[in-house]
Amino acid sequence: MAVPAADGGSLTPHGRDAEPGTSQHDQAPRGWAVRAVASAVLLAVALAAAVVLIIGAFDDEETQAGDGQAAREALMARATEFVVAVNSYGPADLDEQNRLTDYAAKVKAVITPKFGVSFDDGLRYAEQTVAQAGYARTVQIFSSGVASTGPTSAQVLVAGQFSGSYPDPQDTDRRLTFEPDPFRLEVSLVRIDGEWLVDDFTPLTGQDTDPGQAPVPDDGASEPSPSPQTSTPTGTPRPGGAASPTEGSTP
């Protein structure tokens, strides 16, 4: 005599009642389908997370590149600011005591205290040159670029030209201008309390192109060309006899 199963054949392999109208064989494909859907969802989540990570990595690289470019531009701006400041002065900058007070303040705002000592050494004589001879200087910057940089020091190349002028002895309303001198400098900067300051500079061109050298009259023996913006006459010794605010810091 056949004995019926204990569960009457109504239990699934996992001990649960089968849904009405389904068999064991119907339950198995449905379980696989559920697991497949779950796996697909997990895979999609994983892929989305990977995409987010990749995009984040690219964003980080772009941010770092942007920060690096901004740092280089800041260095070039500071070096250029120094070169312009130290080479822009004249009689109009003298105060009532015939001192280049505002000029000195602009320069000292962008240099280190150590560099300021050598700047002061030449400042008094430069003031005498401006006050007594009426010398003036202007500068034009052509280009600049970072040569090297580190956490606390950097070198920036600056190229341009400067022009010196004096009052015309025959007409004080006119100025006689020397031929512009091109220059190329390596400006050394250091970082102090988070701020980049100029600590020194080195001319990379000829000895007559130091922006710190101010030409002086040769006791009337030779003078600039009588026409402004023209060359110094042939045979005239090259300018460069006067000390300057930056003299002594240039090798």
Partnered with residue 143 across adjacent β-strands are 159
CATH of the domain at 37: 3.10.450.230
pLDDT tens digits for range 173-206 = 899 999 999 999 999 999 999 999 999 999 997 5
Do the domain assignments include residue 180?
A: yes
Domain assignment of residue 38, given as a range: 24-251
Three-state SS string across 89-138, please?
ECHHHCCCCCCCHHHHHHHHCCECHHHHHHHHHHHHHHHHHHHHHCCEEE
Do the domain assignments include residue 5?
A: no
Do the domain assignments include residue 126?
A: yes
pTM (whole model) above 0.85: no
pLDDT tens digits for range 197-249 = 999 999 997 544 444 444 433 333 333 433 333 332 222 222 233 333 333 33
Do the domain assignments include residue 165?
A: yes
Total domains in the fold of the chain:
1
Residue 27 has pLDDT above 60, yes or no: no
CA distance 211 to 205: 11
CA distance 117 to 249: 9
pLDDT tens digits for range 102-131 = 999 999 999 999 999 999 998 998 899 999
Q: How confident is the model at residue 244, as a pLDDT? A: 37
